[in-house]
Structure 1
Amino acid sequence: MPDPASLALFSLNAGCEFAGRVAAALGTSLGAHEEREFEDGEHKTRPLESVRGRDVYVIQSLYGDAEQSVNDRLVRLLFFLGALRDAAAARVTAVVPYLCYARKDRKTKSRDPVTSRYVAALFEAVGVDGVMTMDVHNLAAFQNAFRIRTDHLEARPLFLDHFSRHLEADAPVVVMSPDVGGIKRAELFRLALEQRLERPVEGAFMEKRRSAGVVSGRMLVGEVADRQVILLDDLISSGGTLARAAQACIDQGAARVWATATHGVFTGAADRVLATPAIEDLVVTDTLPLLRLESAAVHARLTRLDSAPLFAEAIRRMHSGGSLVRLLAGE
């Protein structure tokens, strides 16, 4: 078993708030580092303490905001990971709660890029030993893109804890995917919730077609009338997919609709779209900061679940040779 003293945690400035909470849950602190900006727009990052022979984890979600683009954050992280490898770290793991470009995992049009594979190649090129993330858009594509170790966490335990406390005991429950692509994700959560609640939980899904950014499809498969509906997705961007599915549920007599997703990206008109009365509650994790969500009406119905302890336990188990499979099973 590795020496606990050999564990080292780092984060770049943009991710230090979340990473600090992960470190606190592990009973340690973040390692010191330097980030320097040069007048020509270039930059450098380096650790300010020795990592020689240590098991190093760098925690950083990859998203864009007004200060840094997603590409800038990606490059900065890659350079820092490379610096750790050059500084003789024994093992370097990138802990990326939200992984950029994960949605572009296949060719949908002629000559399309498979960007998720290119991002994987960049991590491999700087000598990273493994990448840990949470609820990627397409798990099979994520695993196949990398030639290094991948560790995939799921927010399912967080959602199970939340909904087991907030669902009404006297109303039937439906777990619904807002599109066909998410059926497997919704089904796994449905089975786990059924076991937790010790009563039947039904399933449903919504038809969805997207072309040139335009979403269509109106068919809802499953019974939602007089039921509590949990709409489950991996992320919320503009909110249109979930709002559309929520309205379809209300139109068919649903008693209550939760819009639930791991990553709250919240782009474009999400403020307006998610303010629809069809969505009674909005549940996301804290893998991303609330950058563009300003509507008081949306904030009033928003719950953010703390994922830092889950990442901390995953890092603890990886460092000590424990089981991540058992972690996701609640053991």
Structure 2
Amino acid sequence: MNNQDFNYRNGELGIVALESCKGIGEKIDNRIKAKRESEETFLIPTEEIRFSNGEGKVKLSESVRGKDIYILCDVGNYSCTYNMFGIENHKGPDEHFQDIKRTVSAIRGKARRITVIMPLLYESRQHRRKGRESLDCALALQELERLGVQEVLTFDAHDPNVQNAIPLMSFENLYPTYDIVKTIITEEKDIETNKDKMLVISPDTGAMDRAIYYASVLGVDVGLFYKRRDHSTIVNGKNPIVKHEYMGRDVENQDVLIVDDMIASGESVLDIAKELKARKARNIYVATTFAFFTEGLDKFQKYYDDNIISRVYSTNLTYIPPELEKTEWFRKVDMSELISRIIHRLNKDESIAKFMDATYVLHELLNNKKK
């Protein structure tokens, strides 16, 4: 099948990589061009314009009529700035989401299909109600549906059940497990993935399913830390953690992999690492889909210098600042190959089921390492 054939089966491919996704968008474009042996870019030139009072608009510089459009946006990218009344402002998640809506509006219904790829799902931390409060993630998804978006692709949603808010719209929740494990095995030459030498740890009850999956794929045991909270107090919108209680087998002289969907301040992960080190764990690795480091890198650097943590692995699905990439203890997991494969197949109207479950390819990867 030649390039012309699969370009037009679902509409000619067009990728709108918004400012927040320029870097990974170019990588994805290059990989798809290589797959299709094409010299033409699939990226559609886009301008995100801000007026001096903070209002904005999105302008597309070429036709999208009849195209299969994929809008890429990283709502967690805080490095994007604009001037308002002479003051430099950083874009937050709300402004990035508004730019997605502006892009859909600029398309004006001329595209054959619109898919939004939000690696970090907008407002995913506010996915359910506890009392009289807003339900932001569900509202955002319903808004995209009303605007004519046919499909949303995201990674490691805080709670995938939020898709129940849009039962008639396609919602795909993907996981970077294979890419993370592959990067760890490539980087950590001495790590031994067997039951006697390694343990996977869940930092809380919410991440237990993720930890069980990692453990079952790697063929090792799983442990759990339970967060005992003070429910009489609220600090920064949360009940503060009083103590981390451990449930699981002995970790002495074991390599430990702590897995979670995100690192915000990192306080919880570091507390657990300290507890594990006190129990004489050997090397402590952290694997996460999104690394925010909302309170800076200094504390992680200190824990690395003190030999408490060995390495932190995270994807480039959200913004990684240059100073983080330069540290000895951080390793980036590039996801552009997976996203390019998914866009390539969806545009050809082919199944992406094999990307939803990485178990088989992970077993292949680990068997090859043992050989």
User: 2:313 aligned with 1:265, yes or no?
Assistant: no
Rate the CA distance shift 1:315–1:80 in 2: closer, same or farther, 3 A. same
Check conservation: 1:11, 1:58, Cα contact below 8 A: yes
- 1:204 and 2:204 matched: no
2:342 paired with 1:314: yes
CA contact (8 A) 2:109 2:148 kept: no
Is the contact between residue 95 and residue 133 of structure 1 (CA under 8 Å) also seen in structure 2? yes
- In 2 relative to 1, CA 115–292 (structure 1 residues): closer, same or farther, beyond 3 Å? farther
Q: Give 1:284's aligned residue.
A: 314
Count of residues in Structure 1 that have an aligned counterpart in Structure 2: 320
Structure 1 distance, partners of 2:287, 2:301, is 12
CA distance in 2: counterparts of 1:130 and 1:303, whole angstroms: 31
How far off its partner does 1:295 sit?
Answer: 10
CA contact (8 A) 2:256 2:284 kept: yes
Paired amino acid for 1:102: S
Counterpart residue number, 1:140: 161
Q: Which of 248, 252, 266 is equivalent to 1:225?
A: 252
**What residue identity is the alignment partner of 1:55?**
D
Counterpart in the other structure of 1:9: 15
For structure 2, the residue ranges without an aligned partner over 5 or more in a row are 34-40, 82-90, 362-371
Distance 1:188 1:48, change over 3 A: same
Q: CA separation of 1:188/1:267 partners in 2, compared to 1, >3 Å: closer, same or farther? A: same
Separation of aligned partners in 2, 1:111 and 1:185: 30
- Alignment partner, residue 193 of structure 1: 218
Deviation at 1:124, TM superposition (A): 1.7
> Alpha carbons of 1:118 and 1:271: their partners in 2 closer, same or farther (altered >3 Å)?
farther
TM-score normalised to the size of structure 2?
Answer: 0.80
2:332 to 296, 299, 304: 304
* Residue identity opposite 2:20 in structure 1: A
Q: What RMSD over aligned residues (CA atoms) do the two structures have, in Å?
A: 2.2
After TM superposition, the structure 1 = structure 2 runs for residues 1-331 of structure 1, keeping only pairs within 5 Å, are 3-5=6-8, 6-27=12-33, 28-65=41-78, 67=81, 68-84=91-107, 86-108=108-130, 110-141=131-162, 143-147=163-167, 148-165=169-186, 166=188, 168-169=191-192, 172-194=197-219, 201-210=220-229, 212=234, 213=238, 214-223=240-249, 224-273=251-300, 275-276=302-303, 277-291=307-321, 299-330=327-358
Max Rg structure: 2
Q: Percent identity?
A: 22
Structure 2 distance, partners of 1:237, 1:292, is 18
**What secondary structure sits across from 2:290 in the alignment?**
strand
Q: C-alpha separation between the residues in 2 aligned to 1:295 and 1:93?
A: 30
**Helix, strand or coil at the partner of 1:56:** strand
Shift of 1:193: 2.2
| SS at 1:287 equivalent | coil
Seen in structure 2, the aligned counterparts of structure 1 residues 114 and 19 have a Cα distance that, compared at 3 Å, is: same
Matched position secondary structure for 1:314: helix
Structure 1: distance between partners of 2:336 and 2:201: 26
Determine the structure 2 residue equivalent to 1:197.
none
Could you tell me which amino acid in structure 1 is paired with residue 262 of structure 2?
L
What letter is aligned with 1:33?
T
Tell me which amino acid in the other structure corresponds to 1:207: Y
* Shift of residue 172, structure 1, vs aligned partner: 1.2
The alpha-carbon deviation at position 294 of structure 1 amounts to 5.6
- Whether the aligned pair in 1 keeps the contact of 2:324 and 2:330 (CA below 8 Å) is no
Deviation at 1:22, TM superposition (A): 1.1
Is the 1:46–1:80 Cα contact (8 Å) retained in structure 2? yes
